[in-house]
Amino acid sequence: MSDAVAAPVLTIDGPSGSGKGTISRAVAAHLGWHYLDSGALYRAVGVAAGWNDIDLADPAALVRCTFDTRVGFRDAPGGEPRVLINDVDATDELRTETAGAAASAIAAIPEVRAALKERQRAFRQAPGLVADGRDMGTVIFPDARWKVFLTASAEERAERRYKQLMDKGVSVTLAGLLREILARDARDANRPVAPLRPAEDAVRIDTTGMGIDDVVARVLALIDG
């Protein structure tokens, strides 16, 4: 498929807790486009590694695990899509802080990132794709028509995550979450391969103090405009 006819892509990158997932899903639903949750792929490898007792300090085993792990998405009307790892619904386990931390460690391995590249690009299908992650605009879809980089203060991101987890009945402390978010930001931003940074042509939106609907409207305005 040549670029001239390739389906349009909107990339939404940013640190954890910036609201990427919620905003990307809402924008994709509004446009009737496909949605790629690239973080779920890294999380799925982290969860699968746990299932198989693979040491997070063993890159060769993690690369093998990446190739052996099939990840499927199933739409769940009105909610987050369900994520299947080798046909097993692992959505709840995928969202734990443990899975996020494992994903962040695994995401620093260049061969794992390379193995997931084409899987991510395969989501680019008509009528369009909203791609959510850390390197969507810089590495996976550098030719995307629109690129957004969402940020929010670490404190606000920790609070949002705290509320989400409390709603799910998961018991955590705000201080602990803030520590984890800062540690994950530092790891994602400082890794040598595909570090978290805005694409030069990305529009930055600081969502601190903004409601979901306002952010969605800002993003949709870019596409209409």
Point out the residue whose Cβ comes nearest to ligand DC: 39
Residues in 129-168 that interact with ligand DC by CB under 6 A = 133-135
Spatial contact of 148 and 10, defined as CB atoms under 8 Å apart: yes
Under rule CB under 6 A, residue 107 binds ligand DC: yes
Sign of CA dihedral 93, 81, 175, 48: positive
- For residue 132, count other CB atoms closer than 10 A to its CB: 26
User: To the nearest whole angstrom, how small is the minimum distance from the Cβ of residue 108 to ligand DC?
Assistant: 8
Under rule CB under 6 A, residue 43 binds ligand DC: yes
Question: Pairing relation of β-strands 129-133 and 9-13?
Answer: parallel
Up-side HSE of residue 124: CA atoms within 13 Å toward CB?
A: 22
Comparing CB distances to ligand DC, the nearer of 31 and 94 is 94
Geometric angle at alpha carbon 186, from 212 and 71, rounded to 5°: 65
Up-side HSE of residue 134: CA atoms within 13 Å toward CB?
A: 26
User: To the nearest whole angstrom, how small is the minimum distance from the Cβ of residue 93 to ligand DC?
Assistant: 13
Site string for ligand DC, 174-203 (x = CB under 6 A): ----------x---x---------------
Residues forming the site for ligand DC (CB under 6 A):
16, 38-39, 42-43, 100, 103-104, 107, 133-135, 184, 188
